[in-house]
Amino acid sequence: MSVIELASGHAMPLLGLGTWQLRGDECTRVVQMALEMGYRHLDTAYNYKNQVEVARGLQASGIERGEVFVTTKIWPDALQYEQVHRQFAECVEQLATDYVDLLLVHWPNEAVPLAETLKAFDEIAASGRARSIGVSNFSPALIDEAREVASAPIVNNQIELHVGNVDTALLEHCRAHKVAVTAYRPLAKGDAADDAVLAAIGERYGKSAAQVALRWLVQQGIVAIPKASSQGHLRANMDIFDWALDAEQMQRLG
């Protein structure tokens, strides 16, 4: 699995499994299947209400915890100092782990000072229970504020990003400050699979429109976390690393 290096020095796999809306036994089964297939990165959140099932899938796969990059997120109604600590403790308990690889602020909440939230994040990072910390759905101005008040590096901004939905200024800002970008909804909730331009490009490589959409992201060093629930989709989404789009195609899609 291809990885990028985060500003914290840790490696993050460029492809992960998004788990939003995966619940119950289906979640456990899909996580297990993905890990057995070679996925090494799981994206969950307190708010997804599936961390117990994600942990069950990991355990059922027999793959060592240390082999898998696990991201979770603190919901915006719990960004007060004490609340962060409380919700994070619940996350690691539900995930049946001592640590997460990446802890994110799920969405900003202007009612809570970022300094207060990130003080708790810093403490969690310093204790080793989060290997890296970051944010999600943050603007350039909020990223600057987070970088200013946090002691640990803000290594990641998880944002909605897919072909046809690109915020170039935000991407450039992240790049300039070594904030890796994770693209959520990288398949536009599945709509990318029906995109005629992506399909036409894919035909030349024997790949699907969805695979082109994901390749376009990872080829830019952007982490992609497609959610998939069938074996076919999981496998297709992994098959994006041994071929490349040409410069003209990359530019056309961007």
Ligand X SMILES: NC(=O)c1ccc[n+]([C@@H]2O[C@H](COP(=O)([O-])OP(=O)(O)OC[C@H]3O[C@@H](n4cnc5c(N)ncnc54)[C@H](OP(=O)(O)O)[C@@H]3O)[C@@H](O)[C@H]2O)c1
Active site residue 46: no
Q: Which amino acid is at 74?
A: I
The answer to whether the beta carbons of residues 244 and 219 sit under 8 Å apart is yes
SS3 (DSSP) at 34: helix
Applying CB under 6 A, the span of 120-128, 138-146, 188-196, 242-250 interacting with ligand X comes to 188-196
Binder among 24, 38, 164, 190 for ligand X (CB under 6 A) = 190
Q: Could you tell me the smallest distance in angstroms from the CB atom of residue 199 to ligand X?
A: 11
Rule CB under 6 A: say whether 207 interacts with ligand X: no
Query: In sequence order, what E strands does the chain have?
Result: 3-5, 11-13, 17-18, 41-43, 69-74, 100-105, 130-136, 154-160, 180-184, 223-224
Q: Could you tell me the smallest distance in angstroms from the CB atom of residue 20 to ligand X?
A: 3
Considering only residues 53 through 72, tell me which ones interact with ligand X, judged by CB under 6 A.
none
Q: Is the dihedral of CA 33, 245, 9, 166 positive or negative?
A: negative
Applying CB under 6 A, the span of 3-11, 15-23, 89-97, 110-118 interacting with ligand X comes to 15-23
Distance of alpha carbon 3 from alpha carbon 68, whole angstroms: 12
CA distance to 120, 125, 179, 204, per residue, from 69 (Å): 21, 15, 17, 33
Structure tokens, 242: 């041994």
Catalytic residue among 39, 46, 48, 184: 48
Q: Could you tell me the smallest distance in angstroms from the CB atom of residue 112 to ligand X?
A: 17
Rule CB under 6 A: say whether 173 interacts with ligand X: no
Applying CB under 6 A, the span of 17-25, 32-40, 86-94, 241-249 interacting with ligand X comes to 17-25
Q: Count residues contacting ligand X (CB under 6 A)?
A: 26
Binder among 76, 108, 153, 226 for ligand X (CB under 6 A) = 226
Structure tokens, 212: 């082109």
Distance of alpha carbon 3 from alpha carbon 158, whole angstroms: 16
Rule CB under 6 A: say whether 41 interacts with ligand X: no
Q: How many CB atoms lie within 10 A of CB 68?
A: 20
The answer to whether the beta carbons of residues 22 and 62 sit under 8 Å apart is no
Binder among 49, 189, 204, 252 for ligand X (CB under 6 A) = 189
Q: Could you tell me the smallest distance in angstroms from the CB atom of residue 224 to ligand X?
A: 8
Distance of alpha carbon 164 from alpha carbon 162, whole angstroms: 6
Q: Could you tell me the smallest distance in angstroms from the CB atom of residue 238 to ligand X?
A: 10
Rule CB under 6 A: say whether 165 interacts with ligand X: no
Interface residues toward ligand X, by CB under 6 A: 18-20, 43, 106, 136-137, 158, 184-190, 193, 210, 225-230, 233, 236-237
Active-site residue numbers? 48
